[in-house]
């Protein structure tokens, strides 16, 4: 497998007052294309920060994030925005849908950044909603949907522009077991059938089990790496 991401000597810290706090230091790893990786670890271990660095919404203190030959950490704000719109789909714990837009409009949002015509956008939205099984809910607003349904709209939004990688931050953290399983099955499907590379942050071991491998972060270090967990 070719590698999608290469992280080299990645460090991230911040200063609070005079104190400087290190989240992790000199992290080096690769993420192969087609991977489904779960990042686990206690609160404050740097899981979300790592995800943010992969998604290009945060910058490392030092080291590099490379994705298919692009130095993500070196891109300007404008270029970074464009890179995100073409390469990354985000899925958040609290869905982060626009409350004023319908499900279909929420899914369409990233397509406004492409040159697609209205008709093409409509087709893509329909396909994406079909994949997550919400074709019949496209006219509903987020408030009219259950948590699981909202998260599936968010997944549709993440895949509609056909990015290579999906970055999920506690995607099931706010859901009941049944809905959570459905979401994780959908992610698995996207990984297997559509070849999306998925990086998922979670603290739920049963969620992590859906991934191909788990990565445990603790105090800024990998403490364990489990390949191809049993399903």
Closest of 202, 199, 201 to residue 212, by C-alpha: 199
Distance CA 71, CA 54 (A): 11
Residue closer to other proteins (CB basis): 14 or 195: 14
In this complex, which beta carbon is closest to other proteins, that of residue 49 or of residue 212? 49
Please list the residues that pair with 181 across neighbouring strands.
Answer: none
107-166 positions binding other proteins, by CB under 8 A: 108-110, 112-113, 121, 157
Torsion of CA 220, 151, 107, 213, to 10 degrees: 40
* Residues numbered 56-75 forming contacts with other proteins, rule: CB under 8 A: 57-58
Q: How far is the CB of 57 from other proteins (least distance, A)?
A: 4
Q: How far is the CB of 88 from other proteins (least distance, A)?
A: 8
Contact by Cβ (8 Å): 146, 179:
yes
With CB under 8 A as the contact rule, the residue among 5, 24, 36, 90 that binds other proteins is 90
Q: Site size for other proteins, by CB under 8 A?
A: 28
Report the site for other proteins in 160-219 (rule: CB under 8 A): none
* Interacting residues with other proteins (CB under 8 A): 52, 55, 57-58, 77-78, 81-86, 90, 92, 94, 96, 98-101, 105, 108-110, 112-113, 121, 157
């Amino acid at each position: 497998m070719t590698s999608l991401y290469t992280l080299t000597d990645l460090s991230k810290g911040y200063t609070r007052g005079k104190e400087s706090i290190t989240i992790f230091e000199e992290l080096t790893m690769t993420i192969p294309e087609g991977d489904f990786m779960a990042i686990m670890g206690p609160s404050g271990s740097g899981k979300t920060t790592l995800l943010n660095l992969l998604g290009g919404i945060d910058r490392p203190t030092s080291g590099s994030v490379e994705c298919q030959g692009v130095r993500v950490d070196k891109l300007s704000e404008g270029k970074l925005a464009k890179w995100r719109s073409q390469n990354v789909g985000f899925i958040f714990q609290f869905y982060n849908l626009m409350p004023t837009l319908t499900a279909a409009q929420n899914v369409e949002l990233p397509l406004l950044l492409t040159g697609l015509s209205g008709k093409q956008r409509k087709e893509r939205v329909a396909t994406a909603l079909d994949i997550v099984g919400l074709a019949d809910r496209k006219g509903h607003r987020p408030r009219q949907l259950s948590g699981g349904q909202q998260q599936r709209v968010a997944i549709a939004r993440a895949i509609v522009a056909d990015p290579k990688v999906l970055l999920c931050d506690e995607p099931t953290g706010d859901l009941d077991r049944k809905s959570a399983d459905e979401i994780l099955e959908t992610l698995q499907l996207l990984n297997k059938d559509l070849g999306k590379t998925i990086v998922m942050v979670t603290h739920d071991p049963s969620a992590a089990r859906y991934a191909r491998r788990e990565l445990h972060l603790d105090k800024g270090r990998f403490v364990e790496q489990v390949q191809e967990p049993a399903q």
